[in-house]
Amino acid sequence: MLIITRRPGEKIMVGDDVVVEVIEVSGSSVRIGIAAPKSIPVYREEIWEAVKAENQAAAAVEVDELPDDLPTPTRKR
């Protein structure tokens, strides 16, 4: 992994199009700004990981027939 020391206001280029800027350092928190082309989504890693795992689990399910006639949970009796 490339490790670079930067101060608030300084930036890092990832390729020609992605800019990562250190906005503010406060205690153990770092605020980071990221400017990327529309084709590149940016995620917090732990959320990306959770959604990836859920997508994989949903795709791996062995059920081939999804229920068609469903009891409606919100139905009022």
Partner 1 sequence: MHGVTHHNEGDDARMDVTLQSSRFGEITVSPDAIIDFPSGLIGLGGHRFALLARSEESAFAWLHSLDDPELAIPVTDPWRFFDDYEIEISDEEADRIGVTDPQDTSVYVTVRAAAALEDFSANLRAPILVVGGTGHQVINQVPDAPVRAPMFTGLQETPTKAA
| Closest to 19 measured CA to CA, from 5, 6, 9, 33 | 33
Rounded least distance, CB 3 to partner 1, Å: 26
- Pick 3 or 58: Cβ nearer partner 1: 58
Signed CA dihedral, 37, 43, 44, 46: sign only? negative
| Phi, then psi, of 71 in degrees rounded to 5 | -70, 135
Q: Which of 1, 26, 38, 46 binds partner 1 (CB under 8 A)?
A: 38
Residues of this chain that bind partner 1 (CB under 8 A): 38-41, 43-44, 47-59, 61, 63-64, 66-68, 70-75
